[in-house]
Structure 1
């Protein structure tokens, strides 16, 4: 969908959203030309870096989307999805994945599926939007690799059909292998769609909300509002925003050949597995598209946050948190703190914030998100307290 995933893997220690980033990949989009396989080669694999094909029923787009590596990768379109037939190379698991081969409904930058119009989350149509995906995992031992299988829901404050979405990316992980973890930190565990999901939250210039199924599944079919409504209750998406894309695919860090999306459908009304048809027919897309780089979060901290109390009285306090960047420049930061019992933030400056129970999540403001190596910035807040006015025991930064 518009953009290239916002996930991240973490090395070794770290459970809870990717603690920090050792190498923040630039958020600026890089212009590339979409390459479509010639119409005559309808059954051929898509091996060019950004090669795409339209499914035979004309509803969806399949993309190779090899944006994070120069090693060969090939996607073989099928009647109802695609198969990853070649996935050479490997990238460090403390950074972004090497690609996101996927199938989508909606807009990937300016490349939209036929007749698609962004769907307002405030309208009645949104409640009827369903997504269905089925995937195949190679048998244990038959393929080496570290990857996740996920579908993405993208939201923008405007009915955007090109460029980078700035609202939120809601990711739904059906399964994963190895060390990959989502952007940000694990903040909750919820029961949705008949299963248990770990909820992760981070920000890479837009909110990244990830739902990681605690037990792997090979299929999912449900209204997209299921996960949107949970994210809405947490303050991470807005009802006034628009759904701009639904994607399903894989993010490999190492290996990945043999993974497959065996069926996919998305749109208004009940989603059902597509009826097998002829091989997808590639179509020409002369309009350039743009892809963005991921911003990785690794298991090694790259920023820290230190709280202090500036003043306190019986029923409240004013506190300041200093955010210190690590050894590499970054754009955007997020802090998460568990406030002492009885504390409620009433006002906060130099950041945007949400409080859920005792969890206070603060993201950078528009003017203090870009930090050079070793640079610092601060935000402050006033709180009301029915108990202790102490600072949080710890504030994490990513």
Structure 2
């Protein structure tokens, strides 16, 4: 039998140092792993409810928006966008898609993104810069669609009059609503144009001849092209911009890697530029509450103390920790916790000079109850009464 090789001896001092080093490494791994897991849990939120939503970056809303199928669809919101993590089922390619998972700035079916400047009247918008980065898959039938919604009123509660669709990519035997009407150059790119109606609104589609994965552009270039074609007017409102996918078959792995959207507004026709010291944008808020052990109601009055009307009013404030909105009336309030925005509905979207609009909501709370510390109306700080 072959003799065993004798083991080498390790000097006692070196052995002690090695043991100490291994202990430090082990403690770092133990401390880091839970922290990394916690960060991952906090960063990613998965939505499987058909119309589930969540907020990212404190300013955009990710929506699952599974409206055309009963098959399961889940989206996972990330720090900068979202990915479709599950997309079961399929629908015929000669009809409507099964969903529109997307991320948006603005207001969509009573849900408004925090602090949004939308709705905004078109003739007051100078620029609406946006950036999008898509991740595509091959084993699905879908389009990558950027949607722009326009309406004659600053509505926040339903379907708008005109929908602009920018098809960044399409895979499979699908086509836009309506019929082709030629080509156009918008934003320095060439597009195939389609027009039609889905029965609820007019649709103007700009279809890229080949896939676009990343682009920074001005949304108003497409809005102005739509106005020029007679499908909108300068006194209409931009209500939301949305970036996502319309899948017909499968779709897992489709990703909005990043999304950004802003709206830069100026003066309307014949209106002077507002002076920072001018009280024209000033406002006053009265916040009255009824509080019990685990719940409360808030009745809010927003008064325009300025000299010009406020169209499409949005009141932003931050709920103290532990408070959650469960229902609201006379306004949409979203998200339900943290930095929220209350947005007027179609019937009360304007506050005349010296006028007041009221709304309210019910919520839950934990621990000692407190009121929001400050309010701002369309970006202007308000006084409280």
TM range (shorter): 0.5 to 0.7
- Kindly report which structure 2 residues correspond to 1:286-305, keeping only aligned pairs within 5 A, or say none: 286-287=326-327
- Kindly report which structure 2 residues correspond to 1:7-46, keeping only aligned pairs within 5 A, or say none: 43-46=44-47
Are residues 285 and 187 of structure 1, via their aligned partners in 2, closer, same or farther at CA, if it must alter by over 3 Å?
A: farther
Q: Name 2:292's counterpart in structure 1.
A: none
Larger Cα Rg: Structure 1 or Structure 2?
2
* Whole-Å separation in 1 of the counterparts to 2:80 and 2:42: 18
Q: Name 1:244's counterpart in structure 2.
A: 239
- Kindly report which structure 2 residues correspond to 1:209-224, keeping only aligned pairs within 5 A, or say none: 209-224=204-219
Q: What is the Cα deviation at residue 269 of structure 1? A: 4.8
Residue in structure 2 matching 1:234, options 226, 229, 236: 229
Q: What is the Cα deviation at residue 43 of structure 1? A: 2.8
- Kindly report which structure 2 residues correspond to 1:163-174, keeping only aligned pairs within 5 A, or say none: 163-165=158-160, 167-174=161-168
Q: What is the Cα deviation at residue 119 of structure 1? A: 0.9
Q: Name 1:322's counterpart in structure 2.
A: none
Q: Post-superposition, which runs of at least 4 consecutive aligned residues in structure 1 deviate over 3 A?
A: 283-289
Are residues 266 and 72 of structure 1, via their aligned partners in 2, closer, same or farther at CA, if it must alter by over 3 Å?
A: same
Q: Name 1:197's counterpart in structure 2.
A: 191
Q: Name 1:146's counterpart in structure 2.
A: 141
Asked if structure 2 preserves the Cα contact closer than 8 Å seen for 1:127 and 1:223, the reply is no
Asked if structure 1 preserves the Cα contact closer than 8 Å seen for 2:159 and 2:201, the reply is no
Structure 1 portions without partners, runs of 5+ = 1-39, 271-282, 290-398
- Kindly report which structure 2 residues correspond to 1:1-398, keeping only aligned pairs within 5 A, or say none: 43-55=44-56, 57-116=57-116, 117-123=118-124, 126-138=125-137, 140=138, 144-165=139-160, 167-203=161-197, 204-269=199-264, 286-287=326-327
Q: What is the Cα deviation at residue 195 of structure 1? A: 1.9
Q: What is the Cα deviation at residue 234 of structure 1? A: 1.3
More helix by share: 2
Asked if structure 2 preserves the Cα contact closer than 8 Å seen for 1:174 and 1:219, the reply is no
* Whole-Å separation in 1 of the counterparts to 2:101 and 2:328: 19
* Whole-Å separation in 1 of the counterparts to 2:58 and 2:229: 36
Are residues 149 and 288 of structure 1, via their aligned partners in 2, closer, same or farther at CA, if it must alter by over 3 Å?
A: farther
Structure 2 portions without partners, runs of 5+ = 1-40, 266-322, 330-385
* Whole-Å separation in 2 of the counterparts to 1:225 and 1:48: 33
* Whole-Å separation in 2 of the counterparts to 1:109 and 1:48: 16
Residue 149 of structure 1: SS of its match in structure 2? strand
Q: TM-score, normalised by structure 2?
A: 0.57
* Whole-Å separation in 1 of the counterparts to 2:208 and 2:237: 25
Asked if structure 1 preserves the Cα contact closer than 8 Å seen for 2:43 and 2:78, the reply is no
Q: TM-score, normalised by structure 1?
A: 0.55
